């Protein structure tokens, strides 16, 4: 082959490689761009800031300020109080709201707002006796208006919102009664029902995912490390250990939903553990993570130079001492990397959790005590799944926001793995 032809071939191959990278970068960038552009607005939330003078005669008929007696007043009572307060504030600011029907006016406020006010008042009954400033959620459609999701044109066709409402919101914004600010509640509030997307948050999903990651960490790491050390250093090489090896590799390739079926029949139906609990989810994810961590741990144990173990053995160390004093510490960074990658994988796993009932609508936080792991919760990827299937576009926005949060966690975890590996790799 002549030189020109060879050079041409080399050039073509380089070009092909470069274009492959560019193509995958384009895909990655467009994915991130679409997720970020549709998800970022969820980190902001539109709220009213109102001066409240609550009618104590209506909200506490007994006049005792006893929360037990005040509980008789439902959210309907607080809703009326909020509508009246909105009217008072608009009057004070000189804004005209006569064009709105009674229903339209009431719908300016989120359905979640009365419940939140009620909780605040029950927690602190003295609020009834004084005037105070209170921020409350605007309706999801009005929130969407300031994020470009709802326009005057779309409002004319929308049964849930009218142009008159949007005009009133604009007037309130001018007077400083309405503001769009950073949405910290998104990270710690629980999920909300279909009609109040503005109140939905990731709190329960965060806790559920956190509990599951803890369970995976506590179970998968010791089991995997023990398995890897035993197989790599102590097990005899025969057909049985070969069989185990092949099966571990096979397990790593099993579709994750199969682990969900296993978890359902083993942990819930057979062992009688509660449904929707992070405990069961964590156990399923542990089963799923085990092969990943075992394979990573074995590879990093194998990568430790045998001369290190020989050196220890020649000094009169027992095999266990040689492994635990020298081989394992040298393999630790690799094992850690494998663990973090396994955890990141488990954090993003959805399918097995669907089967064990974590897809349920959960509004109660699991408790922070150890029993919390047996109480119903959801997980981040499940919350994303849950929100994407709901009708209101506001939920899709929140799902994208949750994807950003999940991706941030995963990138942070993978970054940590890379950093750890860089830092402690190849010390010998």
Partner 1 sequence: MFDKTLDRTMTENTKITAQSVNVHYGDKQAIQDVNVDIIDKAVTAFIGPSGCGKSTFLRCINRMNDTIVGCKVTGSITFEGKELTEFDPVYLRSRIGMVFQKPNPFPKSIYDNVAYGPRIHGMAKNKAELDDIVERALKKGAIWDEVKDRLDAPGTGLSGGQQQRLCIARAVATQPDVLLMDEPCSALDPIATAQIEELINELRENYCVIIVTHSMQQAARVSQKTAFFHLGHLVEFDDTNKIFTNPEDPRTESYITGRIG
Q: Which residues bind partner 1 (CB under 8 A)?
A: 236-237, 305, 307-308, 310-319, 321, 325-326, 329-330, 427-428
The CB-of-41 to partner 1 minimum distance in angstroms stands at 51
| Cα distance between residue 352 and residue 245, in whole Å | 24
| Cα distance between residue 294 and residue 339, in whole Å | 9
| Cα distance between residue 242 and residue 248, in whole Å | 10
Length of the chain counted residue by residue = 428
The CB-of-337 to partner 1 minimum distance in angstroms stands at 17
User: Cβ atoms within 10 A of the Cβ of 18, count?
Assistant: 10
The CB-of-245 to partner 1 minimum distance in angstroms stands at 15
The CB-of-298 to partner 1 minimum distance in angstroms stands at 17
The CB-of-248 to partner 1 minimum distance in angstroms stands at 21
The CB-of-263 to partner 1 minimum distance in angstroms stands at 38
Q: Which is nearer to partner 1, 293 or 304 (CB)?
A: 304
- Helix H, strand E, coil C: the string for 73-142 is CCHHHHHHHHHHHHHHHHHHHCCCCCCCCHHHHHCCECCHHHHHHHHHHHHCHHHHHCEEEEEEEECHHH
Q: Which is nearer to partner 1, 167 or 245 (CB)?
A: 245
Distances (CA, A) of 314 to 214, 310, 330, 373: 40, 6, 18, 48
Residue 394 has phi, psi (to 5 degrees) of: -60, -30
Distances (CA, A) of 250 to 101, 245, 314: 64, 9, 37
| Cα distance between residue 290 and residue 301, in whole Å | 16
CA 34 to centroid of chain Cα atoms = 18
Q: Which is nearer to partner 1, 270 or 428 (CB)?
A: 428
Q: Which is nearer to partner 1, 173 or 302 (CB)?
A: 302
Q: Which is nearer to partner 1, 160 or 308 (CB)?
A: 308
Q: Which is nearer to partner 1, 68 or 315 (CB)?
A: 315
The CB-of-306 to partner 1 minimum distance in angstroms stands at 9
Q: Which is nearer to partner 1, 250 or 320 (CB)?
A: 320
Q: Which is nearer to partner 1, 61 or 319 (CB)?
A: 319
Strand order of the β-sheet with 131-137 is 131-137, 44-53, 178-182
* CB-CB contact of 50 with 133 (8 Å): yes
CA 319 to centroid of chain Cα atoms = 44
Q: Which is nearer to partner 1, 314 or 389 (CB)?
A: 314
The CB-of-424 to partner 1 minimum distance in angstroms stands at 10
The CB-of-244 to partner 1 minimum distance in angstroms stands at 17
């Amino acid at each position: 082959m002549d030189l020109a032809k060879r050079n041409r071939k080399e050039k073509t191959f380089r070009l092909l490689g470069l274009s492959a990278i560019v193509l995958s970068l384009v895909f990655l960038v467009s994915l991130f761009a679409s997720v970020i552009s549709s998800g970022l607005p969820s980190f902001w939330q539109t709220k009213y800031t109102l001066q409240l003078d609550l009618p104590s005669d209506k909200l506490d008929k007994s006049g005792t300020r006893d929360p037990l007696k005040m509980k008789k007043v439902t959210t309907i009572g607080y809703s009326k109080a909020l509508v009246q307060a909105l009217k008072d504030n608009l009057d004070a600011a000189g804004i005209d709201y006569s064009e709105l029907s009674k229903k339209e006016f009431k719908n300016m406020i989120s359905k979640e707002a009365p419940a939140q006010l009620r909780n605040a008042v029950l927690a602190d009954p003295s609020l009834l006796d004084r005037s105070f400033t209170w921020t409350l959620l605007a309706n999801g459609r009005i929130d969407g208006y300031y994020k470009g999701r709802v326009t005057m044109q779309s409002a004319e066709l929308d049964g849930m919102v009218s142009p008159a409402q949007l005009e009133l919101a604009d007037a309130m914004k001018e007077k400083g009664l309405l503001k769009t600010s950073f949405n910290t509640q998104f990270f710690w509030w629980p999920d909300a029902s279909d009609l109040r997307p503005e109140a939905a948050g990731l709190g329960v999903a965060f806790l559920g995912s956190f509990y599951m990651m803890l369970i995976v960490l506590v179970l998968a790491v010791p089991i995997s490390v023990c398995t890897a050390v035993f197989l790599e250093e102590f097990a005899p090489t025969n057909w049985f250990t070969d069989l185990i090896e092949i099966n571990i590799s096979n397990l790593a390739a099993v579709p994750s939903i199969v682990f969900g079926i296993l978890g359902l029949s083993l942990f819930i139906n057979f062992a009688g553990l509660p449904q929707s609990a992070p405990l069961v989810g964590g156990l399923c994810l542990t089963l799923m993570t085990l092969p990943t961590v075992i394979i990573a741990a074995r590879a990093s144990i194998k990568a430790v130079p045998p001369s290190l173990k020989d050196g220890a053995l020649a000094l009169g160390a027992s095999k266990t001492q040689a492994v635990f004093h020298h081989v394992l510490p040298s393999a630790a960074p690799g094992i850690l990397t494998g663990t973090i990658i396994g955890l990141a994988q488990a954090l993003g796993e959805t399918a097995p959790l669907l089967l064990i009932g974590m897809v349920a609508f959960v509004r109660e936080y699991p408790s922070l005590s150890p029993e919390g792991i047996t109480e119903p919760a959801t997980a981040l990827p499940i919350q994303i799944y849950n929100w994407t299937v709901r009708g209101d576009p506001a939920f899709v926005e929140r799902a994208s926001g949750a994807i950003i949060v999940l991706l941030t966690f995963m990138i942070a975890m993978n970054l940590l793995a890379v950093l750890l590996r860089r830092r402690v790799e190849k010390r010998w």
